[in-house]
Structure 1
């Protein structure tokens, strides 16, 4: 049974799956050999957010928010207040300037309310219901000790849910995602547009204003993913595969790609050819560790090294269905999850030394800097050079969910938490570590028992 759960029991469902890398039952490099199934939701679980080093919250379409202990799997609190599905979830970390020393989370619902919860006692702290539309995203600006709600407009709030300022209706579309930028700025995705907004506060902090600075109109379809790469760079990805890397200070374009139908010879023996289907090129999620950008593109995953300015590894068909979430974890490992219900662990390995081949312009030219040449069919000549090629090798396949895995959280000490359309949250545990902890606990109990006998 356990082997099936970590990848031994899935059978191919069609010819397309033959190109998906598989792994046998003996997953010797996969640490997650134990799991805990956490039940508390009655509908799709879409969001997970960390509270601290050992707690996290989950929320989804049933309107319920559950707080969990990531170490034991214990459900700490079950929070009920929203009458419709949860549309956004965010954690408000502790602040040195705030008198209230408690961990807070923010929840937004389709019932047009936002609620602030105290994670230490599970109580509702504040609630606001003055929104004209559903809040689609929540962003905490910890340095300013404020948070933002995005929907038909952008609102700026403090911890007590005092409205500090707001924008007017931006355009017909709503704000779907936001990230913090330097100089008190925020990038907001509004349909195809990327709007740069700046927050201004008076010296005493009593008066606030939010000003539209610039509109970036380079995307031709709705922006799906936003990620901060570093203090100087961020990236956006759209539904039809447009990926743009931006300067975070002056908002100019570092890299651009509008077509995903060209090819790149990373290895002379191998060629990537992407489908014209929107589902095959949609950039569902972007992640970064400042050294690399990780892109979930259709069913595939791609790794771009910022210093080398090129894609260093890829899996064109990493999953059987669309990849929904991707991130980098320690030991050069990458985790991805998909609509096919699987969670996969990849290791980035140095492959060999090769002489660089001529690279066609287009497609992965976005990973370099500057706009793609109009003559996409021409080959960009590069002098031969020694280059390191990397591979993404599958080392773990976690099969426990029966439906689409929406996202996951990685805890360095307590394993991996995943949430799914099957209403479940699963904690995947490092089997060796858990075995050691149980042994230590047993020895501790034996020592206590011996001490008790000696005293008697």
Structure 2
């Protein structure tokens, strides 16, 4: 059985809002000796996707996709069909009201193919091989019964793997990631820019679609490495040099309420710009991946995991050495669980526990969090 390590002791004293906690600093030995590691991959693990309450998938440079039972750690399926590293994965949640056992998985690879898998049998349903470059991102829009692929262009497909429409090719760049925005809009990351597209059905009878470029946002100073939807009104991007930008999902502007951050990682007395470096180690500034629970943004930076709170605009906790090598992907699971994967080939399971409100020293409401990583849990009062 997988064991969620809840730690050996509590920190009872309230922590000031400006203090950033480095979880597990007092543990001198390997903090992961009691944590079950899910083994099977023979190369770097780069992606994970949540399937349902019992399963998630992992994939990476060995070209193999493993489907895991999250309760027992058992390997449910071993999906082999790509000849080169996996570059993107996505799950059909419940298209056409499919039950959980019949959900489908999309995988893309640097072999310039996309495969649609039956997650009940582990067999291939469709295999697409007409791409001119590697597909680096996949996105499913369930309410429209379509999915999109991002490479040297953005393509829109139906559930039968038929091409509906596509953009023009990007010059000297590929789409690295994309997310859905309100009003059938799509945000894509192309080098330093966020390119906003509008997806419009022209005819419901003929299934004719159109995708139009609406705007380019050029606020980052370096290549964008992470793009996520935080909630209905907000999305976030992270760059190679550690910049984090919070955007408005409706008008595509930098949100005014988030125009300044306190660089809590360095405990600066000056308000920083909206672009901040989340890690004190300047040699590990690249934000490899972002995840969110609508209130916090979880950032994979170097070998560490950082928790950034949107309400307080501070890094409330971090583990600078969460893996032996760079953390490449973080996924938010149910029940405040996190799963992370790394260049070291391991998949690690974490727990973020929210406690009832503590009694504050002064009047006013206080929210308490416990970040459980390794053997210790640390209480954070916000």
TM-score by length of 1: 0.63
Deviations 1:239-278 (A, max 9, x none): 1122111110110111457997974359xxxxx996572x
Assess, with a 3 A threshold, how the Cα gap between structure 1 residues 80 and 333 changes in structure 2: closer, same or farther.
closer
Partner SS state of residue 284, structure 2: helix
1:214 pairs with 2:215: yes
Deviations 1:433-454 (A, max 9, x none): xxxxxxxxxxxxxxxxxxxxxx
Runs of 5+ unmatched residues, structure 1 = 9-17, 267-271, 356-384, 399-456
Assess, with a 3 A threshold, how the Cα gap between structure 1 residues 351 and 284 changes in structure 2: closer, same or farther.
farther
Q: Whose helix fraction is larger, Structure 1's or Structure 2's?
A: 1
- Residue 147 (structure 1) shift: 0.7
CA contact (8 A) 2:94 2:103 kept: yes
The whole-number CA distance in structure 1 between the counterparts of 2:180 and 2:137 is 13
1:120 pairs with 2:120: yes
Assess, with a 3 A threshold, how the Cα gap between structure 1 residues 61 and 208 changes in structure 2: closer, same or farther.
same
- Residue 327 (structure 1) shift: 5.7
Assess, with a 3 A threshold, how the Cα gap between structure 1 residues 193 and 285 changes in structure 2: closer, same or farther.
same
- Residue 145 (structure 1) shift: 1.0
The whole-number CA distance in structure 2 between the counterparts of 1:219 and 1:170 is 18
- Residue 124 (structure 1) shift: 1.4
Partner SS state of residue 143, structure 1: helix
1:301 pairs with 2:279: no
Residue number among 270, 274, 289 corresponding to 2:293 in the alignment: 289
The whole-number CA distance in structure 2 between the counterparts of 1:135 and 1:91 is 16
CA contact (8 A) 2:136 2:176 kept: yes
- Residue 82 (structure 1) shift: 1.5
Matches within 5 A, 1:73-84: 73-84=73-84
Aligned residues, how many? Answer: 346
Greater RCO between the two (CA within 8 Å, min separation 6)? 2
1:91 is matched with 91
Partner SS state of residue 96, structure 1: helix
Matches within 5 A, 1:363-402: 394-397=372-375
Assess, with a 3 A threshold, how the Cα gap between structure 1 residues 110 and 229 changes in structure 2: closer, same or farther.
same
CA contact (8 A) 1:23 1:395 kept: no
Assess, with a 3 A threshold, how the Cα gap between structure 1 residues 173 and 354 changes in structure 2: closer, same or farther.
farther
Assess, with a 3 A threshold, how the Cα gap between structure 1 residues 392 and 282 changes in structure 2: closer, same or farther.
farther
- Residue 73 (structure 1) shift: 4.2
Residue number among 314, 317, 324 corresponding to 1:314 in the alignment: 317
The whole-number CA distance in structure 1 between the counterparts of 2:239 and 2:372 is 27
RMSD: 4.3
The whole-number CA distance in structure 2 between the counterparts of 1:387 and 1:219 is 36
1:363 is matched with none
1:61 pairs with 2:61: yes
1:144 is matched with 144
Matches within 5 A, 1:2-21: 21=25
- Residue 214 (structure 1) shift: 0.6
Matches within 5 A, 1:289-368: 289-298=293-302, 299=304, 301-306=306-311, 309-311=312-314, 313-315=316-318, 317=320, 319=322, 322-326=326-330, 343=348, 345=351
CA contact (8 A) 1:342 1:397 kept: no
